[in-house]
Amino acid sequence: MNRERALQVALVVVGLLYSLWGYILFDNLWHLRWFGGQDVMPMFLSLNTTLGVCLLVAAKQPAKHRLMIAYGAWSSLAHGFTMTIMSAQAVAHGMHRKDSPQDIVMFAVIGLTLLALLPAKQPSPAGALIGSASQTLVLSGIRQ
């Protein structure tokens, strides 16, 4: 399996996982599960549900959606890192978080996999034109 195909598979798997969290989001909102102090969960779920849909769209042509894939990777790593800090703080205060460490590992694997398979940056035709135009202006200024 080539790298682009592996990335497409990863994008579909992660995209489906994140998109299916929309069901949990709907359930939390419908049954007012957020009302007892869990108000962060629906916001997190809404962001990742939207990200999941975007990653599914990116799976068709990953090279054209490099920034979205990078955002998915870095946001997953940031979330895992935040959970690590929160878990360490909870342990330091004699508490235990029920979502650790498996969720931390899951977000780290997702982030690192997407970063490892991230398509190479493609040169932009517009950027090349801007670069050559500025070089022409600089060179013409030197000649005068």
Q: pLDDT tens string for the chain (144 positions)?
A: 799 999 999 999 999 999 999 998 888 788 776 666 666 778 888 899 999 999 999 999 999 999 999 999 999 999 999 989 988 898 899 888 777 789 899 999 999 999 999 998 877 666 555 555 555 555 555 555
Q: 20-41 as b/e, with b when 16 or more CB fall inside 10 Å?
A: ebbeebeebeeeeebeeeeeee
Name the token pair of 88: 């360490």
Cα distance between residue 99 and residue 71, in whole Å: 23
Secondary structure letter of residue 64 according to DSSP:
G
The residue segments making up the domain with residue 26 are: 3-143
pLDDT of residue 130: 56
Whole-model pTM: value is 0.77
pLDDT of residue 41: 78
The answer to whether residues 14 and 108 touch, using CB atoms and an 8 Å cutoff, is no
pLDDT of residue 28: 79
Cα distance between residue 59 and residue 8, in whole Å: 5
pLDDT of residue 69: 97
Count: domains in the chain: 1
- Which residue in the block uniquely carries the two structure tokens 């070089």? 135
pLDDT of residue 26: 86
